[in-house]
Structure 1
């Protein structure tokens, strides 16, 4: 991805399990690393349950990154 021009329209392809809602996602070019940064704001429905999230960076429908998977742990 470092070879892509910084004006390439990079977006996030995101999903979240039934226990959450993606409130906001933002993809920004980082000139220091010459890469992109994805930020997600998530609303968890039940804090006592885990929340699964997945994301990848894409240009149109072409994947640019691996798929990132994360399980937000429950608050016990």
Structure 2
């Protein structure tokens, strides 16, 4: 049971790390317009982008299915 928990923690940490790195590249482009036009504050825009990036990283499986199709 300890190995399953460790694997779960590692997968979760990898998802969070992916989201963090992905945010560096994509969040600036995604929030630039709403921040520049003052529709949202910088804090609100960053928090929304972070939240949706986390959801996408943890629920998106299309890429994993495509890459995994040739492995098994």
TM-score over 0.5 for the pair: no
Relative to the length of structure 2, the TM-score reads 0.23
Which has more helix, going by share of residues? 2
**Highest relative contact order (Cα 8 Å, sep 6+), 1 or 2?**
2
Which has more strand, going by share of residues? 1
Relative to the length of structure 1, the TM-score reads 0.23
Q: Look at both structures and tell me which one has the larger radius of gyration over its CA atoms.
A: 2
